[in-house]
């Protein structure tokens, strides 16, 4: 299941309030400022800073 571009455009990183972008594999949203990735589970982005993973 994919996430719509319209939804990505209105979402923001909960930590810095910056923009997020879909990662290459399509399973997470990346904040370039915080260097965090927010997982997308069953088509729903999990926008919780405490659940974010650091970028590799």
Domain boundaries, the chain: 5-54
pLDDT band at 2 (very low <50, low <70, confident <90, very high): confident
User: Residue 56: what pLDDT?
Assistant: 81
User: Residue 1: what pLDDT?
Assistant: 61
3-state secondary structure of 1: coil
CATH of domain 5-54: 2.20.25.10
Cα 21 versus chain centre, distance: 6
Residue 49: what are its φ and ψ, rounded to 5°?
-60, -35
- Tell me the pLDDT tens digit for each residue of 11-44: 999 999 999 999 999 999 999 999 999 999 999 9
Question: In the predicted model, what is the mean pLDDT of residues 36-55?
Answer: 96
pLDDT at 9 over 80: yes
User: Residue 6: what pLDDT?
Assistant: 95
């Amino acid at each position: 299941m994919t996430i719509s571009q319209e939804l990505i455009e209105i979402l923001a990183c909960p930590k810095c309030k910056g923009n997020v972008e879909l990662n290459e594999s399509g399973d997470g949203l990346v904040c370039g400022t915080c260097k965090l990735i927010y997982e997308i589970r069953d088509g729903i982005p999990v926008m919780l800073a405490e659940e974010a993973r650091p970028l590799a």
